[in-house]
Amino acid sequence: MDNNQQLVERDYFLCQLSDLEELQSIELEIDERKLFAIRQDNQLHAYWNSCPHMGIPLNWMPGKFLDLDGALLQ
């Protein structure tokens, strides 16, 4: 089992849902892996902060992961 799979199979406290406004994101680091979470439709969605195609971070500015419309990951 690789390191990513081990992280996915565990439960982590990221933040309270009420800590974030709709479409607001938070940058996190767990076991030296960078990720971020976004509140959308009253749910928290977490992603690795790495483009699977290019291996670069997904945030285009610190803490900014969505396009200007708040619809898509950049």
Q: Model confidence over 9-43: pLDDT tens digits?
A: 778 888 899 999 998 889 999 888 899 898 989 99
β-strand pairing of 25-30 with 43-48: unpaired
Structural domain includes residue 22: no
How confident is the model over 52-58, as a mean pLDDT? 85
pLDDT band at 50 (very low <50, low <70, confident <90, very high): confident
Q: Rounded to an integer, what is the distance from CA 40 to the centroid of its chain?
A: 12
Report how many domains make up the chain. 1
Find the domain containing 50 and state its range.
Answer: 1-15+27-74
pTM of the model: 0.70
Structural domain includes residue 3: yes
Q: What are phi and psi of 71, to 5 degrees?
A: -100, -35
